Amino acid sequence: MDMTAASAHAGVGFTHHYQMRTYEKTFFDILDDTFMEDYMGRNREFFIEYFNRLFKYAKGGIDIIRADEDLGGQENMSISPESWRRWYKPLWQDVFRICKDNGAKIWMHSCGFCRDVVDDFIEIGVDILNPVPVYVRGSDPLDMKKTFGDRLAFDGGVDQINIMIKGTPEMVRQEVKLRIEQMASGGGFIIGPSQVFTKDMPIENIITFFDAAHEFGEY
């Protein structure tokens, strides 16, 4: 049985905007309707054609699209939900429709505060939300599972900052056990750090993470 998955990347929204224009310019851009209509129109012209061609030449070989949309810090969104819905959501929705029409699942990375638009993510076709950071307001793993778990799968959950980097191996073991207990019931959970594995994590914590995932991860 082939257990691999082929992925591709999508970045068409707010994160793409500030990566192109810097945060400072982006915040001023959003206040200028004329600029935003032209800017997002150009993005639409490029990305719709890009994704149609991507799937055409992939010939069914793409299983998952990774989408990146970091919308906030640890307490609030960097822009209002209304601004995101007005300027960025429509293009995301149309890009995701192309992905879904070609059989691809949508894996969305949004590591800052995004609770106000999670329902919007689901509406436009997101299947998996990453990374569910417990230290970000509105991202408590248990609450996220209870609130959205019937409509959304999750990837992440294990406290990167306080446990994987700063904690002991036993703390890592207990954290992995807790997140599996909170989020694995009924399926729809991929255990992982609440960001990524990084070089500042003690190697023994990384080894313990995988050992604990094997120990507690069957259900």
pLDDT tens-place string over residues 116-160: 999 999 999 999 999 999 999 999 999 999 999 999 999 999 999
Query: What pLDDT is attached to residue 6?
Result: 72
Calculate mean pLDDT across residues 187-213.
Answer: 96
Look at residues 84, 4, 2, 100 and name the one whose alpha carbon lies nearest to residue 51: 100
In angstroms, rounded to a whole number, what is the distance separating the alpha carbons of residues 156 and 77? 20
41-98 per-position pLDDT tens digit: 999 999 999 999 999 999 999 999 999 999 999 999 999 999 999 999 999 999 999 9
**How much is the pLDDT for 219?**
62
Decide if 89 contacts 110 (C-beta within 8 A).
Answer: no
pLDDT at residue 3, as a whole number? 57
Question: Does the pLDDT of residue 178 top 60, yes or no?
Answer: yes
Q: Does the pLDDT of residue 1 top 70, yes or no?
A: no
Dihedral (Cα; 179, 180, 185, 187), 10-degree rounding: 110
- The whole-model pTM stands at 0.94
C-alpha–C-alpha distance, residues 111 and 198, integer Å: 15
- Per-residue pLDDT band at 4 (split at 50, 70, 90): low
Tokens representing 130 are 């990453």
Q: Which residue has the higher pLDDT, 195 or 2?
A: 195
Secondary structure in 3-state letters for the chain: CCCCCCEEEECCCHHHHHHHHCHHHHHHHCCCHHHHHHHHHHHHHHHHHHHHHHHHHHCCCCCEEEEECCCECCCCECCCHHHHHHHCHHHHHHHHHHHHHCCCEEEEECCCCCHHHHHHHHHCCCCEEECCCCCCCCCCHHHHHHHHCCCCEEEEEECHHHHHHCCCHHHHHHHHHHHHHHHCCCCCEEEEECCCCCCCCCHHHHHHHHHHHHHHCCC
pLDDT digits (tens, 9 = 90+) for 9-27: 889 999 999 999 999 999 9
Whether the pLDDT of residue 209 is over 70: the answer is yes
Q: Can you give the pLDDT at residue 179?
A: 97
Contacts of 107 (CB under 8 A, 6+ apart): 7, 64, 65, 66, 67, 126, 127, 128, 130, 155
Res. 7: pLDDT tops 90: no
